[in-house]
A and B are shown apart, each in its own frame.
Chain A
């Protein structure tokens, strides 16, 4: 059975237009329902000439073949294409789960206009005071580490399942801080299965080009390094930064070396997302332990980095 494809008729009448880009329009699809997707769906309708030529079905099918815990994990991690939508044998669009509310920020823009804004990770790269002034959250250093930790696990999940993200960029990942800081990959069209061509040509966003030309899991690891660099040293021109020494005073322990390897020209030396995940776990565990040991009475506030305590030699948050 070709369960990964549905006819346009099964999408039903479309609801509100949620967004429009150069290649597609995204509508609510209130009448569409799928047994394997608990929440609401949206319909991404490709503009004429922009329907992906091939490979979409394989990306959809890969999800359907996952065991249920992995698929649920994937659905929390990425707004994954859950069905290809065809009309007369042609791909017209794709059904995707609606991005959950907690990835949106209700805010007041500088003009005073109210807006509901998708919390794209680009907001993590700017000066936190500026972000706050623009009505966006200004996460603490500790929250930023948690965001990096979560993105590491997202990348690991995809890599473990033989997927290549390709175009990780400031707009196609979104974050939330409530509950537990999390990152969700959106706009997953450019994801491809390792060993197969991409659904749409994999491209680099400006300022996210890896040293090599061909995009692979190794270039994902490079881009993850850029994300860590830019997320943990927010401020003017962080969004174009490539110099790992920006984090020398911020990342404890192995961090500066991991980052240099991640941003280096040798793809084989770049740390995997799993190595990054373990590293961030150790940073977070040590920070918590150090805080408990050093100041049992203080409540957890923002930190701007870590330093080594001269007596205990432990990494402690700079307050």
Chain B
């Protein structure tokens, strides 16, 4: 008899909590997790498909919600708080370690694992030295078999040119995209819109996973909330 071996999509939110995120931006950031839970509560069979985890980063990076089934009774959602600078390097290093250990764990538990998806939200420039965070990014995306599908999202003072270099894969049939707040948009609202994109991407990806695609489906251009634009890696040179 055919086994009922499940395929899971690990889905991560990596979010900037540097000092500049305080105030209404942080409030909206704290709304993301409850919104994701509510969306799953409307489509609860997606718990057979998707696992969700949260890493935040300021001067350092921390796992705030270890990869889990968000509808599990045991799950407690953490409150995000601001702390210090903007270390992309710390975020990438911790993310790499988490991907490695989480995927190993899921496989040991008998699951097939889709390529992990990461929404990376930032409102500013990295405060690390350039070569430091770029080296950490290379470790995450090159010669690392479980490299993630990485979707950078920028609000407020995030530098589009910097963020565009984080789109991964940057080209090819499974190229990812970047989401940017449009000029003049309220950054807190933009975070709420990015949460919408994250959720619709998670729902679409979970629902279509059995069809053997890359495991991450991003919303079509015409379905994006107004105030956010999508870019591919070659839109910024």
Contacts and interface: CB of A to CB of B under 8 A. Distances in A.
B106 interface: no
Interface string A94-134: 00000000000000011101010100001101100111011
A243 interface: yes
Contacts of B44: 122-123, 126, 130-131, 134, 136
Contacts of B4: 237, 240-243
B34 interface: yes
Contact of B209 (A115, A136, A206): A206
A312 B144 CA distance: 64
A244 interface: yes
Contact of B48 (A111, A117, A133, A236): A236
Interface string A200-244: 000001110100000000000000000000000000111111111
B211 A237 contact: no
A237 B209 contact: no
A170 interface: yes
Given A122-B44, A206-B207, A243 B1 contact: yes
A237 B6 CA distance: 7
B73 A245 contact: no
Interface in B195-231: 207-211
Contact of A133 (B2, B42, B73, B210): B73
A109 B207 contact: no
A110 B208 CA distance: 25
A134 B210 contact: no
Contacts of A237: 4, 6, 48
Contacts of A122: 43-45
A111 B35 contact: yes
Contacts of B6: 237, 240
B2 A206 contact: no
Interface of A: 109-111, 113, 115, 117, 122-123, 125-126, 129-131, 133-136, 170, 205-207, 209, 236-245
12 contacts: A110-B41, A205-B207, A209-B210, A236-B48, A239-B45, A240-B4, A240-B6, A240-B48, A242-B4, A243-B3, A243-B4, A244-B1
Given A109-B38, A110-B71, A133-B73, 8 more contacts: A110-B34, A111-B34, A123-B44, A126-B44, A126-B45, A129-B73, A136-B44, A240-B210
Interface of B: 1-4, 6, 34-35, 37-38, 41-45, 47-48, 71, 73, 207-211
